[in-house]
Structure 1
Amino acid sequence: MKKTHLMIDDKQIAFDEWRDALLKTPAPEPVLTEAGIVTEVADGVAIVTGLARALADELLVFAGGTQGIVLDLEPGRLGVILLGPSQSIQVGEHVYRTQQVVSTPVGEGLLGRVVDALGKPLDGLGPIVRVMRQPVEVNAPSVLERKPVSRPLATGIKAVDAAIPIGLGQRQLIIGDRQTGKTSLAVDTILNQKHSDIISIYCAIGQRGDAVARVIQALTDADVLSKCIVINTGDEEAPGLAHIAPYCAMTMAEYFAAQGKDVLLVIDDLTHHARAYRELSLLLRRPPGREAFPGDIFYVHARLLERSGQWSDALGAGSITTLPIVETEAENLSAYIPTNLISITDGQVYLSPALVHKNQFPAVDLGLSVSRVGGKAQNRSLRTLSGNLRVMLAQFEELEDFARFGTRLDDNVRARLKRGNAVRQALRQGERDPMSTLEQLIVLQSALEGLFDDLSESEIIEAMNTIRAAARRELKTLGKEVRDNAQLSSEAQVLLLDVARQALEGVTPPEDLN
């Protein structure tokens, strides 16, 4: 809820009073008025006549209990997207107005639960209590109701936190082909919020049931599900549910942000969302545009993502950080939906299939990834250490390509290639293994200073695990300063290197006596 006061029945009521009153009373049943007739039914949509006073986005109820949303208003007919199976609707069946818009439950009772797009439980844990309902469509806050993004979101992933930082309130797109690790990167970011006050919402749209089950299991195993809400709309569900799912997730996030809390929202993914909307639009005979998508698909995603941000004190000073995921085909970043979302969001993390083929995980391409906002919010310690990381890796990759054509390389070039390869290897990270900022610092410091230059790939992995353990054991005071976003002093950098060198004494191979 974006306003501190509401106008109800021409009376101004404080939001807190209104919310408490709703929590104490059950949600009212929709009032059914005015009956229409179903004239056509297709897979996911219906054509209705006889409801001349129906409004756009109004919730309708069919005689069999299925709900629908008015999408098209035309003289004498309504185009309705269904929120349930179309098989239960017959031509000639009555349909009724409710004079309400579609809403979703919000509140503390949703934490730790798995629900569908309408907020109905899917986890078999019984009914959801301590919730109220809010409309899924609201206006985004104005510019004057926002504050600059100034606090970092720790993802626990070295390649992101060091080179593509994300701030609380930012919209950062995760983009890449299939099987490049997009969902894993987002889930690892959620897992890294275990010891923070951030509430996480994972919205799955059109994903396979086993994939969503693995995400839920990962959240359960890490003991973070109690701080999360999982919204699942499978590919077997009605496309209308896929259409409203991200709006329902955003509404749930806004409830917590209005209370001054920070929320992390993952939408997985907007490619399936766009396809569901295209399917509905084509069935309703709306004019197709580029790649057969309707002309308003940009607005559909823009009005959703514009609801993210860092709010002003008048709105509770909370934030909504959104990580929408979009899938590309054959690395085609210029496709319609990817280009739309790149222009809407505040940056993108691009996962490259070429890096996947090289077994580089996470497969973050630092050349095509960018953060247009989070650099101002980046952790100060990481900013001190990783300022030249992107440039250094870009120069290394260019030199690596050039060296393939040469047979004789001087010692300086060989040393630069060895250092660049060691830094690239240091950016590797296992799945479900988010790292603290202190651990990222000591690993990157060691790689940039050449402590990994003479190690093999397997030895670098062992070395990283060794110095991470040493940092947790010996640098607890520095770790607290880093978490508090303190500037990394030169003395602290020397201390990091000393601890790393001592830890690597048993890992570094002996010098060749020959």
Structure 2
Amino acid sequence: MPHDAPHWVRSTQDVLKSVSLVPRTSHKGRVEEISDGVAMISGLRDVALDEVLRFEGGQTGFARVLDPDLIGCVLLDAATEVQAGDAVFGTGEVVNVPTGDALLGRVVDPLGRPLDGKGPINATMHLPIERPAPSIIERDLVTEPVQTGVVVVDTLFALGRGQRELIVGDHSTGKTTLAIDALIAQAHSDMICIYVAVGQKTSSVRRAIDALERHGDFARCIVVVAGSSEAPGLQWIAPYAGMTMAEHFRDKGQHALIVIDDLSKHAATHREIALLTRQSPGREAYPGDVFYIHARLLERAAKLSKARGGGSLTALPIAETDSGNLSAYIPTNLISITDGQIVLDAALFHQGQKPAVDVGLSVSRVGGKTQAPALRNAAGTLRLDYAQFLELEVFTRFGGVPDGRVRAQLTRGARIREALRQSQHMPFRLDDEVSLMRAVQAGLLDILPLVAVPKFRAALPEIVVRETDKTLMDALANLAATLADDKPDTPQ
């Protein structure tokens, strides 16, 4: 090159010399057919399972089925602009989502894209949505309680940090409300809250967000939304994305609580994708791996050992039943995976018993060891007493005059049932729950008419704050006597 060549010519020559002129390969395929958010692609023989594929129009999807001739790709964006014949490129990456503190207080889609209009999310770390569950050696015993603020749950079916407790019931029986109340109760705890909405109506998601903003600490919450109008691919990855976001805090030694609302709709989405990608249907047209997809998801909730930082991830998955049929395919699968279930009964709900928890069918297989000692001592034989009351109530409907002992049990049981009622988005503190149970077990509510029990419960927090432990029971007895004098008891 001449020494008198212009400066820009010399710069261009230097750049060309630095470029490595070697052959480069790219994985390119072709869309053979596209329908209902699933594309069948040819020409990508080296694609891995769950690898992200990029279409020439900028849309993305992930490989879900790997057949010798065709790849079943589930789209993560609208399929309206993808057509047969379009080029598709492999990326060599799996689906990743942003994680970290930048997500707190935000509403995002399963890919971490903001939905709340608060600007971009500056996350410094991205993790794959599919991650292995902690091994047995990496786990610790579930011993610390999760205070949900719901009296019937904390007293009868206590939860522990690292537990997986299924919330199951018919449509519109308060499943989401119970889960949201558990998230709201963490406003005064050290737990990070993640709410994942899968296939839910926009109005339902909006109500949940409003409740968290109004009653909870939304700055310590993450909301992941894959609505019913979103692509099936987004709905399918939503629980896994939410779990990855929660695991970030667990692995840092913090504590997280995730609600997945709900896995019945996620199973239906999985069935839809499986049928569209021509997988063999099984029972109720679900593919054979429907149990596995939820097992590998919920196994990621755990209490880690001290060597791993001691963090925990507690899961509250939700499932919907049809006419209370707990033996249906998906509810049965989820019950076998989780560490217990809270069953909501439609009949109780319509009778006004809210939360409509069926005490006989609900169970926590871990909670007895995690329940706060003060609450466990205060509750005592509450569950047994309540179960006996429900049986006696059924028998006394046939007529006859019960003796004095049975009448006393019926009176006590009716007050227990009234004490377990609770308004939505009004969680109880642990001290309030302990005091209420002590009052119930001491028989202070037996002299009250049923209509006065809510007044007693409403006045309880102020007395608990004001009185010392030595004078608390006397103050509660005085309150009960005052309410009993205001409205004389009537036969119940």
**TM-score w.r.t. structure 2 length?**
0.92
Q: What are the superposed Cα offsets for residues 191-250 of structure 1, whole Å, 9 maximum, x if unpaired?
A: 111111110000000111111111111111125110000001100000110110000001
- Does 2:365 correspond to 1:389? no
Residue type at the aligned position of 1:461: P
State the partner residue of 1:462.
455
1:499 is matched with: 475
Q: With structure 1 as the length reference, what TM-score do the two structures score?
A: 0.88
- Alpha-carbon distance between aligned partners in 2 of 1:457 and 1:510, rounded to the nearest angstrom: 13
Task: Give the aligned partner of residue 297 of structure 1.
Answer: 290
Deviations 1:152-189 (A, max 9, x none): 00000110111101000000000101111111111111
* Paired letter, 1:501: A
Aligned residue for 2:131, secondary structure, equals coil
Query: 3-state SS of the aligned residue for 1:230?
Result: strand
The one-character-per-residue Cα deviations of 1:112-135 (angstroms, maximum 9, x if unpaired) are 000001000000000011432111
Q: What is the CA distance between 1:55 and its match in structure 2?
A: 0.9
Instruction: Using the TM superposition, give the Cα deviation of residue 335 of structure 1 relative to its aligned residue in structure 2, in angstroms.
Output: 0.4
Quote the Cα distance in structure 1 between the aligned partners of 2:424 and 2:345: 16
CA contact (8 A) 2:448 2:480 kept: no
SS at match of 2:137: helix
1:62 alignment partner in structure 2 = 55
2:81 pairs with 1:88 = yes
Say which of 423, 426, 449 aligns to 1:430.
423
Cα RMSD between the aligned structures?
1.6
Residue identity matched to 2:28: A
Deviation at 1:511, TM superposition (A): 9.0
Identity rate, percent: 48
The one-letter amino acid of 2:442's match is E
> What does residue 370 of structure 1 align with?
363
The 5-angstrom pairing of residues 246-285 of structure 1 reads 246-285=239-278
Instruction: Decide whether aligned partners of structure 1 residues 223 and 192 sit closer, same or farther in structure 2, where only a CA change above 3 A counts.
Output: closer
The 5 Å alignment of 1:120-139 reads 120-139=113-132
Q: Is the 8 A contact 1:114 1:232 kept in 2?
A: yes
Q: SS where residue 507 of structure 1 aligns?
A: helix
Q: What per-residue deviation string (whole Å, max 9, x for no partner) do you get for residues 402-434 of structure 1?
A: 111122222222121111111111101110000
Q: Are residue 206 (structure 1) and residue 211 (structure 2) matched?
A: no
Checking the alignment, whether the CA contact within 8 Å between 1:164 and 1:375 is kept in structure 2 is: yes
Q: Provide the secondary structure at the position in 2 that maps to 1:192.
A: helix
Per-residue deviation, 1:357: 2.0
- 8 A contact 1:471–1:499 mirrored in 2: no
Match of 1:308 in 2: 301
Question: Residues 443 and 468 of structure 1 are in contact (CA less than 8 Å); yes or no, is this contact kept in structure 2?
Answer: no
Match of 2:183 among 185, 190, 193: 190
Residue identity opposite 1:81 in structure 2? V
* 1:328 to 2:324 alignment: no
- Compared with structure 1, are the counterparts of its residues 502 and 454 closer, same or farther at alpha carbon in structure 2 (3 Å cutoff)? closer
Q: Choose the corresponding residue for 1:165, options 158, 161, 185.
A: 158
Instruction: Pick the aligned partner of 2:65 from 72, 79, 98.
Output: 72
Kept in 1: contact 2:449–2:484 (CA 8 A): no
Separation in 1 of the partners of 2:25 and 2:215?
45
Partner residue in 2 for 1:508: 484
Structure 1 CA distance for aligned equivalents of residues 25 and 299 of structure 2: 33
Other-structure match for 1:286: 279
Aligned to 1:229: 222
Q: Distance in 1 between matches of 2:123 and 2:87?
A: 34
Query: Which piece of structure 1 moves more, 108-117 or 498-507?
Result: 498-507
Q: Is the 8 A contact 2:42 2:70 kept in 1?
A: yes
Equivalent in 175, 181, 185 of residue 174 of structure 2: 181
Q: Which moved more, 1:405-414 or 1:359-368?
A: 405-414
- 1:377 and 1:319 map into 2 onto residues whose CA distance is 14
SS of alignment partner, residue 145 of structure 1: coil
Instruction: Using the TM superposition, give the Cα deviation of residue 512 of structure 1 relative to its aligned residue in structure 2, in angstroms.
Output: 6.7
- In the alignment, what sits opposite 1:12? none
Q: Does 1:417 align with 2:393?
A: no
1:320-372: CA deviation from partner (whole Å, max 9, x where unpaired): 00000000010000000000000000000111112112200111111101111
1:451 CA drift (Å): 1.8
Structure 2 gaps of 5+ residues are 1-23
Q: Distance in 2 between matches of 1:177 and 1:188?
A: 18
Task: Answer yes or no: is the 8 Å Cα contact 1:32–1:98 preserved in 2.
Answer: no
Are the equivalent residues in 2 in contact too, given 1:470–1:503 (CA < 8 A)? Answer: no
Q: How many residues end up aligned between the 2 structures?
A: 466
Secondary structure, counterpart of 2:119 in structure 1 = coil
Runs of 4+ in structure 1 displaced over 3 angstroms? Answer: 510-513
Shift of 1:52: 0.8
The answer as to whether partners of 2:38 and 2:75 remain within 8 angstroms in 1 is yes
CA distance in 1, matches of 2:25, 2:438: 66
Aligned to 2:13: none
Q: What is the CA–CA distance in structure 1 between the aligned matches of 2:165 and 2:376, rounded to whole Å?
A: 19
* From 336, 347, 355, the counterpart of 1:343: 336
Q: Name the aligned partner's letter for residue 190 of structure 2.
A: D
Cα distance in 2 for residues equivalent to 1:254 and 1:511: 53
Partner residue, 1:486: none
Gaps of 5+ in 1: 1-30, 479-491
Q: Residue in 2 aligned with 1:22?
A: none
